[in-house]
Chain A
Amino acid sequence: MTVRAAHVLVHLVFVLAMPPLLVGVIARTKALLAGRRGPPLLQPYHDLAKLLRKGMVRSRTTTWVFVAGPAVGLVTTLLAALLVPLGGHRAPISFEGDFVLFAYALGLGRFFTIAAALDTGSAFEGMGAAREATFSALAEPSLFFGLLVLGRASGSASLSGMLGPAVGAAWGTAGAALASVVVSWFVVLLAENSRIPFDDPATHLELTMIHEVLVLDHSGPLLGLVHYGAAMKLFVFGALVLAVAAPLGGLDPWLAWALFAAASLGLAAAVGVVEGVMARLRLPKVPSLLVAACVLAAFGPLFLVR
């Protein structure tokens, strides 16, 4: 019982403390590939601390929905983070069918983020909102194809079972299906977290942004929470991909935590490499990539049942 409580505690520490570090690693990797030294790895923590201390300005048109955007976004991502198993350990919250809650809780956060953007009445933010809503809707089928593949491979209906020790065994029997899920989910990770090639988080032109433009009018602590929530979402999707790509179930539990931390940093570096070597796609090409990811994921069940 105490061991379980300790693992839950470690899970919480990872979820709350690690996300900004991933953002730092991505930025650093990208800078190194571009031949620069880049910001310190811990820079995102300093940025968050600074934003939380600052005052805020809000638009005259806004209502309570504007504040609800970052609040609901953070709460739902936190719930998703408590549902997803880390390093092969059982997640703090786990029940049959929790994978649907995982996907739909993130959907609720997106709903309010978009509503908050539309609350400002800005054309830029409306444009970003439309893109975010469209692309995330297109990414949804890939996620569910993958989840059903894992459900069949593991015989379980909860995320902790699907992404638990059974995955390691499944690589032997259903490697092709799992490989297609990993590739497809990595694309979903890039899309859902607005990374290159879908969106450039470092861009400075409102017309071309997706996620950054959604939160143009959020400032101070609100902006800090938005950034924190976005980093946590990246962490959650990273954990999802890693659970399939690098299954750690069955290892020594404490070793698994260490390996999970290393794998997360490695995944962040991989995202950084993608950002370093690729340009962002032209907007009309984005849906094609998402549909390709979905088709790839759709092969999963076919590989599995043969």
Chain B
Amino acid sequence: MSALTLTLAAVGLVALGGALALALHRAPRLGTAIAVGASVLGGALGSVASMRVLRDGGVDVLAVSGRTLGGGVVVGVDPLSAFFLLPLFSLGALCAVYGHGYLGARAAPAGGLSLLLAAMALVLLARHALLFLVAWEAMTLLAYLLVTLDHGDGEVRRAGWGYLLASRVAVTALVALFLVLGSRAGGALDFASLALAWRGPGPSGGTALALALLGFGVKAGVVGLHPWLPEAHAAAPSHVSALLSGVLITSGIYGLLRTALWVSPGPWFGVLLMALGVAGALLGIALALSQRDLKRVLAYSSVENVGVLLLALGLGFWARSRGDSPLAAMAFAGGLLHLWNHAVMKTLLFLGVGSVARGAGTRDLERLGGLLRRMPWTGAAVLVGAVALSALPPLNGFVGEWVLYCALAQVGRHGAAKPAVAAAAGAAALALVGGLAALCFVRLVGVALLGSPRSAGAGSAREAPAAMAAPTALLAALCVLGAAGAPALLSAEASVILQLGGSTEEVSSVIQQTTPLVWANVVLLVAGLLAVSLLGWCARGAREDETWGCGYAAPTARMQYTASSFAGLAAALVLPRWARSGPPSEPADPLARALYRPLLIAWEARSARLRFLQQGNVHVYILYVFAAAVGALTWAAVRDGAAP
């Protein structure tokens, strides 16, 4: 069976499970079981198929029929799609299992999650603009429904509204993007024609790339377009947040890469991506480290990591446009590796933090504490994820950034004057981001998991049920394996790097370069574990007493250092005054507060005159649709008549 058939079968299975669950909402136990079972089975099947595509390379396209949906039902799979499908299927299955433990037997969200997985897979499989946009919309709307699952909460509704608004802007840009792309292909919108039309010489694709950056950038949480992201990712149920932050934002990166495969970008595009990347990484981590809400910390860290990703991909595009293929291969390898690693780490932390918040009854850092004692497995998994997300060795988050550092250092060594200085600055910025990320995540671990509980809820927390703890522990193990198996991951990505620009020899030289690092990581891991166990064994008989408090005899949990004070010193240094927290009535994100809110208020005032269009009457809306259709047909007829 071909890999495409297998992938389509997996998508069909997952979608069928989701639809059945929705149909069986009167039998929630059965419905949920079907949806979760379908996600797991389909996820396994799809993962195997994706791995096959990555291993064999090659392109597989299937057009279902000529005229359905304007000839738009064309699907296909190539290494680039498979690269994004693999985390989608595997992490999606884990999230579905976790969701069963988290929400219990509720058929609607379980079915919705399966349908979301299917829609996301269809986005990656679509080979025609129409199908792509339909799948994109389905993905966006299903995600919206899942984000606003707790719509009784006003904050959740607001977050959902912001998400919907941002995704309208994004999809408008995407429609424009495909019109621009299609204009050079004589109006054809299937991906094969687009690729062919843009291959030859012609006007540069500046407009297309700018539109792609806008449309896909919103979804990916590129800095400046990100304010919706922390709100939505914090509001959703934890396993949905995990899927959004770990997997869904990568569909934006997929779109950017796909567009860049058609429109060969000039050096300016790479430079722009790198600038956006550094800015996003710095702003993202600066905002992450001062959040009180556990999930907002993680959501802003996604903005940071997308920044790191853009820095790597931008460097790759820049190098490719200048014909420096070895450097491009290295930068792409680092970026893609980081993308996979980030998907695992972020899913792990959202699931772990979801269990913590469920156990303690709050997501507020200032009310947590002492949870490693009460939730030893989940706590240890969160600790692993925190070390990994701080990009510290010996875990997987370090390896991707290490490859990126090596690529930057290569520019610094051999590049011309200006690129070399820029690379040094980039490496220094990345180092600052790394230091701040360590601060951010040691704060999360130290305040939430260590010390003594700051509220009664945190004091009475219990370990999460197996359905929640098992996926979390599995992901923590993946963080360790991802570091030790980095060469294997890189060789799995090789076919994607070949597609983006780079040769087999260049990829294998990157892999060779990684091997000593992997050994050093393994040695560090083993030595660290040995040292901790040995010292723990030595310290087993230690006398226990109160924490030193300068002789104060009655310490309470409230005397502990707070999360806000811990971050205060750093936040005051790295965030300008206007970007620090504002009044509670205003949006928490500084960009939303300073830019988007005034803009939207002004827009609302201007557009009040158009309010008469909104009649609230279905007949009138049908009339609008009819009028628009007649107008479009008339225009088409006039145009054809003018140019026979």
Contact = CB atoms under 8 A, between A and B. Distances in A.
Interface residues of B, number: 86
B542 A56 contact: yes
Given A55-B543, A72-B528, A95 B517 contact: yes
Contacts of B431: 103, 140-141, 143-144
30 contacts: A56-B539, A56-B542, A56-B543, A57-B543, A60-B547, A63-B372, A64-B532, A71-B531, A75-B528, A101-B393, A101-B517, A104-B391, A107-B390, A118-B445, A119-B451, A121-B451, A121-B547, A124-B550, A126-B566, A133-B439, A134-B439, A134-B569, A134-B573, A137-B439, A144-B430, A148-B412, A148-B423, A155-B414, A157-B410, A306-B417
A232 interface: no
Given A75-B524, A95-B516, A114-B442, A225 B535 contact: yes
Interface string A167-191: 0000000000000000000000000
A71 B432 contact: no
Q: Size band of the A side of the interface? A: 35 or more
Interface in A271-306: 287, 294, 297-298, 300-302, 304-306
Interface string B528-555: 1001101110110011111111100001
Contacts of B370: 61, 121
A105 B394 CA distance: 8
Contact of B446 (A100, A115, A134, A136): A115
A41 interface: no
Contacts of B445: 115, 118
A67 B520 CA distance: 23
Nearest to A97: B406
A156 B410 CA distance: 9
A65 interface: yes
Given A79-B524, A97-B402, A118-B450, A111 B546 contact: no
B87 to A, nearest CB: 24
Interface string A113-151: 011011111111111011101101111111111011101
A123 B559 contact: yes
Contacts of A125: 561
A74 interface: yes
Nearest to A108: B392
Contacts of B566: 126, 129-130, 133
B414 to A, nearest CB: 8
Interface centre among B417, B452, B528, B565 (most CB of A within 10 A): B528
Contacts of A300: 424
Contacts of A76: 524, 528
B535 A222 contact: yes
Given A61-B452, A71-B528, A134-B573, A144 B387 contact: no
Contacts of B394: 108
Contacts of A67: 532, 535-536, 539
A107 B412 contact: no
Contacts of B408: 148
Contact of A100 (B402, B413, B435, B542): B402
Interface of B: 369-370, 372-373, 383, 387, 390-394, 398, 401-402, 405-406, 408-410, 412-414, 417-418, 420-421, 423-425, 427-432, 434-436, 438-439, 441-443, 445-447, 450-452, 513, 516-517, 520, 523-524, 527-528, 531-532, 534-536, 538-539, 542-550, 555, 557, 559-562, 565-570, 573
Given A120-B548, A121-B555, A133-B443, 16 more contacts: A58-B542, A64-B532, A71-B528, A97-B513, A97-B517, A98-B517, A107-B435, A108-B393, A108-B394, A115-B383, A122-B560, A124-B550, A130-B567, A131-B569, A138-B432, A152-B412
A167 B408 CA distance: 21
Contacts of A144: 424, 427-428, 430-431
Contacts of B568: 130
Contacts of A71: 528, 531-532, 534-536
Contacts of B565: 126-127, 130
A200 interface: no
A63 B544 contact: no
Contacts of B372: 63, 65
B429 A141 contact: yes
B424 A100 contact: no
Nearest to B514: A97
A292 to B, nearest CB: 14
Contacts of B546: 59-60
9 A-B pairs with least C-beta separation = A126-B561, A137-B435, A118-B446, A121-B451, A95-B516, A141-B428, A305-B417, A71-B531, A133-B439
A111 B387 contact: yes
A70 interface: yes
Nearest to A225: B535
A295 B539 CA distance: 44
A245 interface: no
Contact of B435 (A101, A124, A140, A220): A140
Contact of B557 (A121, A138, A217): A121
A93 interface: yes
Contact of A111 (B390, B423, B523, B555): B390
B535 to A, nearest CB: 4
Contacts of A75: 524, 527-528, 531
Interface in A6-51: none
A258 interface: no
Contacts of A136: 435
Nearest to B570: A134
Nearest to B540: A67
A68 interface: yes
Contact of B542 (A55, A157, A206, A306): A55
Contacts of A298: 424-425, 428
B561 A104 contact: no
Given A96-B513, A105-B393, A63 B560 contact: no
Given A65-B383, A145-B424, A305-B417, A120 B451 contact: yes
A117 B126 CA distance: 52
B36 to A, nearest CB: 33
